[in-house]
Structure 1
């Protein structure tokens, strides 16, 4: 019975994800067309003739009613076709692929660093030493209040220019591309993205552990002779679901911050690509990149719900 409830929970979340994806597609499609400017003029330049621009609009489908344009684009998406970029003269899939890989590597490393930071700060914030708790609280407040692009600039100036311990930008040294080389290039931008989410998750973990410590559960388990390391595992097992939920939400913060951080560190990811495509009024490319970023966020939230259901039996039984 519990397994059936879990499957129903996952199915319900999946249906909501599909509905959210459709809503995002509608918003992305009409929002990009609200940006002033003529895509044909931007692509062909001011020296092009009105006839050439009109011909390009017809090729791009911009001469058709807006509802027809959306129906055609949605049909392409359902068929797995992201469209064709007329500003770069190649399919959108070929353009997004390398940028997506770079952004996923940056986001993956930032997520790992945020989780590690949250576990360290969250546990230190629950110690009996007041000075340590106050220091952690101050660090959390600073990381949450400082903009990610400001932190990125400071890290770049200090650790790539004044103290050149890390590369100043890019994803890999030309001709290298080893794991160590990629990690050295992504360390600073990933750290800039990880500080705020890590601090937010640390607060969630601290609150969960403090709430658990205020109950009689841990003293009861300790009185039964449970080893300290098993007590720690039990406490974190109960505190992880809220932190995972916060992590899913904070992915949006990291994706939004990546738009600026990738520019600062010259990383050819989705953030840099969407800025370039907006400046070129490349509707097809902007729609694909914006939808992809939003879908990554939605899918991460879905995975967070599934992991929480696996960790918390109350969710599987429909009690939470």
Structure 2
């Protein structure tokens, strides 16, 4: 019996099943986003044209925007455009949605990527300190984790801004880059504080997951057996972290949603022109097309990250690949 082929077939079915669920979830998100934005009170035509516009002008704009059609016809048309890669046209800003979202999406992805890296580093360091033999270090680590988990991200962002950008002007107070510069180090300096504000809570959650996994592994016979075979402490640490990584990766995938939600406030505090700031502006203007596109993109990033986390877990954990977990 070819066990390798069977394992590969199970892995393919696992990935295919997760991909199908991702597509179904994306469709459900599209439905929720479309109807939720239309539940917000207000007339988009009146908001865009202003109170000085005439009823005929507002009716004409509603017709151009397709708001005069039945709600299900509007949804079918919008979904067809989304599937064709057409995000629509923003009538509040007078240009295609793709041109508006592109730079904002890049800024948010840079912020989220840096925050994810910082969260992983923070989790590995704190998770290992929490399993050390020295009790004072364990207690201090647990206290730090509890504090970062309970502190709201917008409060942490404000404290970091006041302390390290105003009182101690070590980092820039806002924006993505200094005008006329835009180098890598300059961008990192601007994004360090907001990324740190986003990373602390998810990092603390992942640190707890890593601590629990390592503590559970230490209670088994695996590490003593490997130590008896003469493995070095470095090799033992590699084995321990290899077994503890899958749960932490799952937590990381879930915490991406926390970081995306926190970015809504952090980008406002640090004046970062990202998706968070864009969705606040578009909701204020009742720009249905722009709100729908931004909300759908944020949700799709979260769903795709969860899919990637499942695939990585399957690659790291042979029990998942073989269908035993």
Match of 2:307 in 1: 302
Mapped to 2, the partners of 1:122 and 1:91 lie a distance apart of 46
Mapped to 1, the partners of 2:280 and 2:122 lie a distance apart of 30
Match of 2:3 in 1: none
Match of 1:184 in 2: 189
Mapped to 2, the partners of 1:305 and 1:104 lie a distance apart of 21
TM-score between the two structures when normalised by the length of structure 1: 1.00
Q: Give 1:280 shift.
A: 0.1
Match of 1:50 in 2: 55
Mapped to 2, the partners of 1:90 and 1:2 lie a distance apart of 50
Match of 1:112 in 2: 117
Match of 2:12 in 1: 7
Match of 2:204 in 1: 199
* Runs of 4+ displaced beyond 2 Å: none
Mapped to 1, the partners of 2:98 and 2:178 lie a distance apart of 25
Match of 1:257 in 2: 262
Correspondence 1:168 to 2:168? no
Correspondence 1:242 to 2:240? no
Correspondence 1:85 to 2:85? no
| Number of equivalences | 320
Correspondence 1:98 to 2:88? no
Correspondence 1:276 to 2:281? yes
Mapped to 2, the partners of 1:191 and 1:78 lie a distance apart of 36
Output one character per residue of 1:194-222: Cα deviation in whole Å (capped at 9) or x when no partner.
Answer: 00000000000000000000011101100
- For 2:69, what is the secondary structure of its paired residue? coil
Match of 1:293 in 2: 298
Gaps of 5+ in 1: none
- For 2:282, what is the secondary structure of its paired residue? helix
Q: Give 1:3 shift.
A: 1.0
Correspondence 1:16 to 2:34? no
**Equivalences for 1:61-80 in 2 at 5 Å?**
61-80=66-85
Mapped to 2, the partners of 1:210 and 1:157 lie a distance apart of 38
Mapped to 1, the partners of 2:102 and 2:11 lie a distance apart of 34
- For 1:168, what is the secondary structure of its paired residue? coil
- For 2:178, what is the secondary structure of its paired residue? coil
TM-score between the two structures when normalised by the length of structure 2: 0.98
Q: Give 1:30 shift.
A: 0.1
Output one character per residue of 1:96-138: Cα deviation in whole Å (capped at 9) or x when no partner.
Answer: 0000000000000000000000000000000000000000000
Q: Give 1:60 shift.
A: 0.2
- For 1:235, what is the secondary structure of its paired residue? helix
Correspondence 1:221 to 2:207? no
Match of 1:30 in 2: 35
Q: Give 1:4 shift.
A: 1.2
Mapped to 1, the partners of 2:246 and 2:84 lie a distance apart of 36
Mapped to 2, the partners of 1:73 and 1:317 lie a distance apart of 41
Two-structure CA RMSD over aligned residues (Å):
0.3
